Amino acid sequence: MRIDKLLANMGFGSRKDVKKLLKTGAVRVQGQPIKDPSTHVEPESESITVYGEEVEYKPYVYLMMNKPKGVICATEDLEHETVIDLLGEEERHYEPSPVGRLDKDTVGLLLITNDGKFNHWLMSPKHHVPKTYRALVEGHVTEEDVGAFSHGVVLGDGYVTKSATLHILEAGARSHIELILTEGKFHQVKRMFQAVGKRVLELERIKIGNLLLDPELARGEYRELTKEEIALLLEKNE
User: Which residues fall within 8 angstroms of residue 66, CB to CB, at 6 or more apart?
Assistant: 107, 108, 109, 110, 213, 214, 217, 218, 219, 220, 221, 222
**Residues for the chain: how many in total?**
238
Q: Please tell me the distance from the alpha carbon of residue 102 to that of residue 82, in angstroms, as a whole number.
A: 11
DSSP, collapsed to helix, strand or coil, labels residue 212 as strand
User: Which residues fall within 8 angstroms of residue 102, CB to CB, at 6 or more apart?
Assistant: 67, 73, 108, 110, 205
User: Which residues fall within 8 angstroms of residue 58, CB to CB, at 6 or more apart?
Assistant: 10
Residue among 99, 108, 31, 32 nearest 60 (CA): 99
Catalytic (active-site) positions: 103
Quickly list DSSP for 122-170.
HH-GGG---EEEEEEEEB---HHHHHHHHH--B-TTSPBPPP-EEEEEE
DSSP, collapsed to helix, strand or coil, labels residue 201 as strand
Q: Identify whether the C-beta of residue 28 lies closer than 8 Å to the C-beta of residue 35.
A: no
